[in-house]
Structure 1
Amino acid sequence: MEDADQGAQRPESLAEVGEDAVTTVGQSAPALTEQEKEELREELAKVEDEILTLSQVLAAKEKQVAEMKRKLGITSLNELKQNLTKGWQEVTTSAAYKKTSETLSQAGQKATAAFSSVGSAISRKLEDVRLQSNSFGNTPTFKSFEEKVDTLKVKDENNEDKSNSVSG
C-alpha cells in the first residue's frame, strides 16, 4: 500500500472546510486505490447514518422540550420577554453602557449650564436695551422730536375732522 501512496498524486492545497462542493469536484481528485475508495465509501455511509440518527434524536428532544413548555404554560411570548429582559440587564450592566450613560449625563449637565448662561446674558442685554431706551426718551432731543410728532398728529386730526364735517 505504501507503493500506492507514493505513486498517488495529492493536491497541494486541500479544500477549506465549508468550501463549495462544486469547486472541490472541479479539482483533480487524488488517485486512490480501489481499497481506499471502498474504505472511504464505508466511512461516508457511517457518517451519514450518524448524522441521520443525530437529526432524529434532536427532533425528538425538541418535541420533548415543546411538550414540557406547554405543560408549564411557557409560551413563545413569555420566552421572548425573558430573553429581552435578560439581554437588557446585560446591556445596562456592561462597562460600555455605564461609560456612555455617564458621558451623556455630563454632557446634558454642561448643556443645561450653557443654556442657562446664555439665557442670563440675553436677559441682561434686554434689560440694558430697555434702560437705554428709557434714558433716550428723557433726552432734550427726544423730547423735542416727540413734541413735533404730537403737533403733527394734532394738526392731522384737525384736518380730518374738517374734511368729515364738510362731506357729512
Structure 2
Amino acid sequence: MTYCLLDPEPVTEVDEEMVSDVDLNNTLTDEEREEILSELTKLEEDISTLRQVLASKEKHHSELKAKLGITPLIEFKQNFNRSWYDMQTSTAYKKTSETLSTAGQKTSAVFTTLGTAISRKFGDMRNSPSFKSFEEKVECTVSNIKQTKVGSQGGGGSFEEVLSSAAHASAQETPSNNMSESSDHERTC
C-alpha cells in the first residue's frame, strides 16, 4: 500500500479494464497508415515542385528587372514614395495635419495677443506718474553730471571721475544751501 501525502486514504491499484478502454496512441490500422504515408509523400513532392517553380519564376523576375534597369535602390525609392503618398492621402494624416494647422494658428494668435498686452502694459507703465518721476530724476542727474563736468576740469575726465566729483560736490553742500539749490534745480529739471 502506498500513502499519498495530501490524502490520508491509501492509493488502490487501478482497474485494468479502465486502462484498456483509453486509447492513448490512437492506433491506426496498417491500411490507414499506408494511405496517410502515401498522401504525405505526394504532398512533399508537390511542395518540392512548387519551390522549384517559384525559384524559376523569381529568377525570371529578377532578369526582367535587370533588363529594365530596375535596381533594388530604385525599388526602395518607389516603395517609399508610394507609401508616403498613401500616408498623405489617408484620412488620419489629413485630420492630423488639419489639427496641427489649427493649433498653430491658435498658438500664433495667443502670442500676438500676449505681445499686444505686454506692449500696452509697458505703455501704461511709461505713462504712469512713478515712471515719469523716475525719468525726470534720471534726466536731472545726467544734467547735473554734465554741469559738474563742464564746471570742473575743463571738459576732461572719464565718466567715473565725473560721477565721483558730482557725488563729492553734493556731499559738501550744506543742508540749507542744498535745499535752496534743490528748489532751484527742481524748477529747471
**How far, CA to CA, are the matches of 1:116 and 1:134 in structure 2?**
26
- TM-score w.r.t. length of structure 2: 0.60
Match of residue 133, structure 2, among 136, 142, 147: 136
1:108 aligns with 2:104: yes
Aligned residue number for residue 166 of structure 1? none
Alignment-derived partner of residue 50 in structure 1: 46
Equivalent in 76, 79, 94 of residue 80 of structure 1: 76
Given the two structures, how large is their TM-score scaled by the length of structure 1?
0.66
Q: Where does structure 2 lack aligned partners over 5 or more consecutive residues? A: 1-20, 149-163, 172-189
Cα drift, residue 114 of structure 1: 0.4
- Report how far residue 131 of structure 1 moved: 2.2
Aligned to 1:39: 35
Task: Give the direction of change, closer, same or farther, for the CA distance of 1:82–1:52 in structure 2 (3 Å limit).
Answer: same
Counterpart of 1:97 in structure 2 is 93
Q: Distance in 2 between matches of 1:109 and 1:95?
A: 21
Q: Are 1:8 and 1:32, in contact at CA under 8 Å, matched by a contact in 2? A: no
Identity %: 46
More relative contact order, 1 or 2 (CA 8 Å, 6+ apart) = 1
Using the alignment, how far apart are the partners of 2:135 and 2:89 within structure 1?
66
- The structure number with the bigger radius of gyration is 2
Whether the 8 Å contact between 1:92 and 1:98 is mirrored in structure 2 is yes
Find out whether 1:123 has 2:135 as its counterpart.
no
CA RMSD of aligned residues (A): 3.1
- Unaligned stretches of 5+ residues in structure 1: 1-6, 10-27, 160-168
